[in-house]
Structures are given as structure tokens and as C-alpha cells.
Amino acid sequence: MSLSATPAPPVTAPASGAATTVIPGPLLNPLAALAPAMTLAGHVVPAAAAATEASEENADDMLAQNDQLRRTLVNLALKLRHIPYVRGGHDPSTGFDCSGFVRYVFEHAIGSHLPTNSASQYMEGLKVRRGEMQPGDLVFFRTAGMHGRISHVGIYLDNGLFIHSPTTGKTVEVSNLDQSYWSNHFAGAKRPEAIANSLGDNS
């Protein structure tokens, strides 16, 4: 039995300026499903592309929200400089210890409640590599030696700087992680859940 190709019906050129409708031949039928996404100019805007665009917009919104959280945290922390260190302190009217300072900033800046001491704060949130720290992340130290328990915490600012309430006789201040003391006692960084969740970061 011989096979013969059935010629496609002729296409009549439209008048100038008129819309063009192309009737697909047998070999073009698989493309018919894309017809709603096609325009005369040949541009294709399929549903997948629209969904991708919406996802990108949502991601941009999340990043903006995350940046705002970080700015709010940092701004409040910097306003509390020069508040004296007080062991067990958690209020600017009396003074701060390191964990009390961090708790106060997170609670009053973004409404997030952290544990009461630095060791407990270290057990929460997402671990962050030193080179990937961002403003608002928490930095932790073992001031009694690298094999001791977590004993100090501060809030990372940027460019290696962090703000904390260091010790008796001092006030809330900005220090540099590259200073030998802090570098030698650095135990790691954590991203509190309030920040990680706003970014959709579950890694």
C-alpha cells in the first residue's frame, strides 16, 4: 500500500494590517496547545513563564522584608551603645549582660523572643559560616577556652564588626571579630529563626 502526503490547505495572505491566523498542518498539531500563549509578533508567554515571574516577585518581597528586619535590629542595637554592663541585666534602664542585650534587641525590634542565656541561644537557629554572616546574625564565643561552654554572644553588624555588652566595667560597644581575643574565642554564628523564616531559609 502506498502512502501519499495530504497537502495542507493553502494560506491566503491577509490584507495589510489584518491579524494572521495560521492553520497548522498535520505535523504542527502538537503546537496547537501553545496557541493561547502565542501572539502575532511571535512572542510566547506560557503559563510556566508567568509562574516563574510571580515566584521571582515573591522572592524579591521576601528579601525586602528580610532586609528590613535586619536594619531594624541593627538600628536598635546601635542606639543602645554605652548602656553599662550589669550581670543578669536585660533592660536599658538598669543595664545589660550579653544575652540580655541580645534578647532585648530582638524582642523590641522585631517581636522575637530568644532564650535567656547565650548557651541556650546558641542551641537555636541555623548555623551560618563565618564568611556568610549577615547583619542581625548572632555571633558566639567560648571565653573560658575553646573547649568550654558558650559564654558570650553579640549581634553581627557587617564587615567583621559586631555589637555586644562585653563585661563588668564596660558598656555596650562595637568590636571587631578580627581582633585576636575575639577571633581566638569565636565559636560560631547562628541565624535566629525569626530572620531565617522571613527568608524561607530552611537549610
In the block, residue with C-alpha cell 497537502: 7
Q: In angstroms, rounded to a whole number, what is the distance separating the alpha carbons of residues 28 and 168?
A: 80
User: Which amino acid is present at 86?
Assistant: V
Are 127 and 190 in contact, with CB atoms under 8 Å apart?
Answer: yes
Nearest to 180 by CA among 141, 124, 127: 141
Say which of 43, 82, 90, 98 is annotated catalytic: 98
**43 part of the active site:** no
Say which of 43, 90, 113, 152 is annotated catalytic: 152
Task: Mark residue 64 as left, alpha or beta (left: phi above 0; alpha: psi -120 to 50; beta: remaining).
Answer: alpha
Nearest to 113 by CA among 99, 134, 127: 99
**98 part of the active site:** yes
Nearest to 202 by CA among 48, 53, 193, 129: 193
Say which of 43, 108, 164, 185 is annotated catalytic: 164
Are 175 and 159 in contact, with CB atoms under 8 Å apart?
Answer: no
Q: Please, what is the angle between helix 47-79 and helix 98-110, to 10°?
A: 130
**152 part of the active site:** yes
Task: Mark residue 57 as left, alpha or beta (left: phi above 0; alpha: psi -120 to 50; beta: remaining).
Answer: alpha
Positions marked active-site: 98, 152, 164
